[in-house]
């Protein structure tokens, strides 16, 4: 995973084990074994018509219970920026899975 700065890379490195644990808990298995970070240019993703939910999740609003589960999952993260990133990622992933018909509960 590319990150924009050494400071951000260090912060994520400290949170790596917690992130792996939470991802695996959400997935229900031990899929993620490690996460590697490197410093580089982080470019915004280009929009594709094939997966509009990736870039416009507000077009697919979540139910209240889904929002609550996401908030509960990230409640223990103290870094506000990381918390917002995780919230966006979890929201987009849930929407993407619903659109594909492979919904897994949080």
What is the per-residue pLDDT across 28-64, written as a single tens digit (0 to 9) for each?
Answer: 888 889 999 888 887 776 555 555 444 466 677 788 8
Assess contact for 17 and 33: CB atoms under 8 A: no
Q: How many helices (H) and strands (E) does the chain have?
A: 3, 2
pLDDT digits (tens, 9 = 90+) for 11-26: 889 999 998 988 888 8
Q: What average pLDDT does range 64-89 have in this prediction?
A: 90
| Residue 57, pLDDT score | 66
Q: Which residues pair with 2 in a beta bridge?
A: 38
User: Quick check: helix, strand or coil at residue 41?
Assistant: coil
pTM of the model: 0.44
**Span between the terminal Cα atoms of the chain, in Å:** 23
Measure the CA–CA gap between 5 and 41, rounded to whole angstroms: 9
Tokens in use for 12? 């994520």
């Amino acid at each position: 995973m590319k990150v924009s700065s050494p400071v951000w890379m260090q912060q994520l490195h400290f949170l790596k084990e917690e992130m792996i644990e939470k991802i695996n808990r959400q997935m229900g298995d031990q899929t993620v074994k490690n996460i590697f970070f490197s410093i580089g240019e982080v470019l915004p993703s280009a929009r594709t018509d094939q997966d509009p939910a990736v870039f416009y999740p507000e077009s697919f609003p979540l139910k209240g219970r889904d929002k609550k589960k996401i908030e509960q999952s990230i409640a223990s993260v103290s870094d506000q920026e990381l918390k917002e990133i995780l919230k966006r990622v979890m929201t987009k992933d849930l929407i993407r899975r619903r659109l594909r018909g492979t919904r897994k509960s949080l």
